[in-house]
Amino acid sequence: MTQDYRYDVFVSYRNAEPDSTWVRTQLVPRLTEDGLRVCVDYENFELGKPLVQLMEDAVVASRYTLAILTPPYLRGPFATFERALAAHLELEQQQRRLLVAMREPADPPLSIRYKLWLDMTDDTTFDASAARLCAELRKPPDD
């Protein structure tokens, strides 16, 4: 099943330090430099709209949701909601829609542990990890 998406990836992360700085200064610039269409809250969410609806719209409009795992992210209710939406689409469409990158060592719940995630905890290997991530984000969800 081929579908056109408005975005290649929606970045689901904890919008607090240090996660937000890394996403804004490292991850999103690298993804956009590689030509990917990135949906991220601080650029794409319309002011004044209900946050939960914006999150749902972002997940649906994106080929993938990329969860950036850190301990605070895993405790956040909004992050849990975004992951649940992407996981639901995986079941409903029988396609891979949720990708996971470990930014800081964390103990993910079973709903994430079953997936192979990308280790992005070491900044010295960022370029290689980002290149692999960009290649994955270009693949159709049903590959």
High-pLDDT (> 90) share of the chain, %: 92
Question: Tell me, what's the pLDDT at 141?
Answer: 86
Question: Tell me, what's the pLDDT at 15?
Answer: 92
Mean pLDDT of 117-132: 97
Where helices occur in 62-125 by DSSP H, the ranges are 71-75, 77-93, 110-113
Kindly report the pTM of this predicted structure.
0.95
* Cα separations in angstroms, 7 against 32, 35, 52, 92, 106: 11, 11, 18, 19, 28
Q: Which fold has domain 7-138?
A: Rossmann fold (3.40.50)
Question: Tell me, what's the pLDDT at 1?
Answer: 41
Q: Is the pLDDT of residue 76 over 80?
A: yes
Phi, psi of 64 (to 5 degrees): -135, 155
Instruction: Locate the domains of the chain by residue range.
Output: 7-138
- Per residue in 79-110, pLDDT (tens digit) is 999 999 999 999 999 999 999 999 999 999 99
Q: How confident is the model at residue 26 (pLDDT cuts 50, 70, 90)?
A: very high
Please check whether residue 86 is in contact with residue 60, taking contact to mean a CB–CB distance below 8 angstroms: no
- Per residue in 130-139, pLDDT (tens digit) is 999 999 999 9
